[in-house]
A and B are shown apart, each in its own frame.
Chain A
Amino acid sequence: MNSKLPTSPHGHRGPAECGLSVPGESAVLHPGVKPASLRDGFPLLAGAPALHYLDSAATAQIHRSALDAVLRHETTSRANISRGTYRLAEAADLAYERARQTAARFLNAGSSEEIIFTSGATASLNLVAHAFGNTLRAGDRVLISIAEHHSNFVPWQMLRQRTGIDLALIPVSASGRLDLGGLSELLDSRCRLVAVTHLSNVTGAWTDVATLVDAARKVGASVLLDGAQAVQHGPQDVQALGVDFYAFSGHKCFAPGGVGVLWGRAELLAAMPPFLAGGGMIGEVTPAATSWAAPPQRFEAGTPPIAQAVGLGAALEWMMSLDWAQLHARESHLCRQLIEGLQTIPGLRLIGPEFSAARAPIVCFDIQGLHPHDICQVLDARQLALRGGHHCAQPLLAALGVGGCTRASIALYNDEADIQALLDGLHFVLKELA
């Protein structure tokens, strides 16, 4: 089993398939250049040239490399893992553990043994709420924010119900950023865990992780980041972030659905009891008692999503091959184009911060008198795929005084034509639904 890994994943340089230049090479992808080769790497988009897919915050399209990896695995290496001694089973083992190592490099984890495969970010967060939650006692505090996705909100409410923990909330400012002004009052010696979003799925605001981690360390609290949205915008560095847990899903980073990752610091994972029980997570089972396997197997009861994990590994390898400095510049350019265009639409309220570097291209808006589902339905007729509703963040929308809103989320395969089509579409919506 792998232990120590090479350092940061950042700076990997990729194959020509990504269509981007790399430092030291001549071509530069200007913001206005359509990255046709990027879009071509996504079979669904390549097969639907008229589609303007702007719902990647819900599900990103799957990259060809991930699809190919799943097909290859299922047709050449399909077997259960950690079970068989025959060569096919060993091939499956190897593929699965390689994916674990890739995920560790993607997060710059200290060891692949800190990577737990789950069914998605929701399962990862529930795992922490149960397993880490079992180490908490009544009166211990867990600090989350009002901006959390329900998957990082409800598990903590359920833990409060089970064990009597104190659940406190970081508020948001009017623009939807986490308001860390009152942090010193919220973070006291009772606080054992701060569990917040890395990037809001509604406001597009990045969390000021450094401030949170500094404050949490002063009281000895651990820090969990829900990275479901963040991972789509590039590899992360959990060591540089200074956090203790990091959760994400495959379907939001160009990989298959049904697989996710929980990264946790080795010493914390070692102190946590299992969440689910079953095959693969045990040390020894006797009629009298059962002992646990060491992490990560302790937290992977039953047959895991093997092929999906292999696909995730391929998608993460592909992501690490890209030049993210260029991609961030491009995403930022499109985000600015979108926000500036939205601000010209009568009756439109932007939900979340104005355009800035601390904002990701996840843009929610409300148009006075129009329901988000009606907006999305009319846009669909123009080949525009957007999401409308509460985005599984009802407490946040209530805090911002919004019943529901429409969301456009931009990924690396989007371009200026997608943004213009949306802006034109919204003007059409105003006429159609007036």
Chain B
Amino acid sequence: MNDNNSLYQEAIKQFAKAAHGHGQLQHATGAAQLDNPLCGDRVAMQVAVTSGHIAAVAHASKGCLLCRAAAAVIGLRAVGQSEAGIASVTEALERMLKSGEPLPAVWPELAMFEPARAHASRHRCILLPFRALLAALQSAPSSAAADRPAVP
């Protein structure tokens, strides 16, 4: 099995199929939709933020297996996180893809994306749901006022 095939390991297929968090929120406080202009993929992310932390998350993802698996990891792990926490995970994921730095232990499922390091054209597929989640959080009025540094 070579790099390309190991990219599509069973865990990715299972997460994409499980689609944790797929759907819509009744009372979202923040929402964002991001596209990948290279392929037309689209992730719509909704969040309900309470006291600076994600109380609920839902997404509608139209994308490849990698994109949908990443969205499903968010559906499984994002609740309870703050905007700063999501930003930190997103940065760690990006660093892992670009330079192989270790991933945070609290999101162990992200390890399934390690074979994607060798395929730079696919990094955006994995990061798109995380960037959509961050944009949704930033659109929530009460989102993480406590997390954000004060603007001088």
Residues of A participating in the B interface, judged by any CB pair closer than 8 Å: 371-374, 377-378, 380-381, 388-390, 394, 397, 403-404, 432-433
Q: How far is the CA of A381 from the CA of B40 in the complex (A)?
A: 23
Closest to B5 in A: A381
B150 located at the interface, meaning its Cβ lies under 8 Å from any Cβ of chain A in the complex: no
B48 located at the interface, meaning its Cβ lies under 8 Å from any Cβ of chain A in the complex: no
Known contacts A381-B2, A381-B5, A432-B8: does B64 contact A374 (CB below 8 Å)? yes
* A403 x B65 contact (CB < 8 A): no
* B8 x A378 contact (CB < 8 A): yes
B148 located at the interface, meaning its Cβ lies under 8 Å from any Cβ of chain A in the complex: no
Q: How far is the CA of A404 from the CA of B5 in the complex (A)?
A: 22
Taking a contact as CB atoms closer than 8 A, the residue among A371, A390, A397, A433 that contacts B63 in the complex is A371
Q: How far is the CA of A389 from the CA of B125 in the complex (A)?
A: 12
Distance (whole angstroms) from the CB of B7 to the closest CB of chain A: 6
* A371 x B64 contact (CB < 8 A): yes
B3 located at the interface, meaning its Cβ lies under 8 Å from any Cβ of chain A in the complex: yes
Distance (whole angstroms) from the CB of B30 to the closest CB of chain A: 26
* A389 x B5 contact (CB < 8 A): no
* A377 x B122 contact (CB < 8 A): yes
Residues of B within 8 A of A378 (CB): 4-5, 8
* A373 x B40 contact (CB < 8 A): no
Size of chain B's interface in residues, with CB distance under 8 A?
Answer: 19
* A389 x B38 contact (CB < 8 A): yes
Q: How far is the CA of A152 from the CA of B5 in the complex (A)?
A: 37
* A390 x B4 contact (CB < 8 A): no
* A390 x B39 contact (CB < 8 A): yes
* B62 x A403 contact (CB < 8 A): yes
B98 located at the interface, meaning its Cβ lies under 8 Å from any Cβ of chain A in the complex: no
* A374 x B40 contact (CB < 8 A): no
Q: Apart from A380-B4, A404-B39, what 15 extra A-B contacts exist at CB < 8 Å?
A: A371-B63, A373-B66, A373-B125, A374-B66, A377-B122, A378-B4, A381-B2, A381-B4, A388-B39, A389-B39, A390-B40, A397-B40, A403-B40, A403-B62, A433-B8
User: Which of chain B's residues 99-130 have a Cβ closer than 8 Å to chain A?
Assistant: 119, 122, 125
User: Which of chain B's residues 50-76 have a Cβ closer than 8 Å to chain A?
Assistant: 62-66
Residues of B within 8 A of A404 (CB): 39-41
Closest to A398 in B: B40
Q: How far is the CA of A389 from the CA of B67 in the complex (A)?
A: 14
Residues of B within 8 A of A380 (CB): 4
B13 located at the interface, meaning its Cβ lies under 8 Å from any Cβ of chain A in the complex: yes
Distance (whole angstroms) from the CB of A396 to the closest CB of chain B: 12
Residues of A within 8 A of B13 (CB): 433
Residues of B within 8 A of A388 (CB): 39
Residues of A within 8 A of B65 (CB): 371, 374, 433
The 10 closest A-B pairs by CB, nearest first: A381-B4, A371-B64, A389-B39, A390-B40, A373-B64, A374-B64, A374-B65, A381-B2, A381-B5, A404-B40
Taking a contact as CB atoms closer than 8 A, the residue among A371, A377, A389 that contacts B119 in the complex is A377
Distance (whole angstroms) from the CB of B8 to the closest CB of chain A: 6
- Between-chain CB contacts (< 8 Å), 12 pairs: A371-B41, A371-B64, A371-B65, A373-B66, A373-B125, A377-B119, A377-B122, A380-B4, A381-B3, A390-B40, A397-B40, A404-B39
Residues of A within 8 A of B66 (CB): 373-374
Closest to B64 in A: A371
Q: How far is the CA of A378 from the CA of B8 in the complex (A)?
A: 8
Residues of A within 8 A of B7 (CB): 377
Closest to B6 in A: A381
* A373 x B122 contact (CB < 8 A): yes
Q: How far is the CA of A380 from the CA of B7 in the complex (A)?
A: 12
Distance (whole angstroms) from the CB of B16 to the closest CB of chain A: 9
Residues of B within 8 A of A433 (CB): 8, 13, 65
Closest to A381 in B: B4
Most B C-beta atoms less than 10 A away, residue of A371, A378, A404, A432 = A371
Distance (whole angstroms) from the CB of B112 to the closest CB of chain A: 15
Q: How far is the CA of A269 from the CA of B7 in the complex (A)?
A: 52
Q: How far is the CA of A381 from the CA of B39 in the complex (A)?
A: 20
Distance (whole angstroms) from the CB of B145 to the closest CB of chain A: 37
Closest to A373 in B: B64
User: Which of chain B's residues 1-31 have a Cβ closer than 8 Å to chain A?
Assistant: 2-5, 7-8, 13
* A377 x B4 contact (CB < 8 A): yes
Distance (whole angstroms) from the CB of A117 to the closest CB of chain B: 29
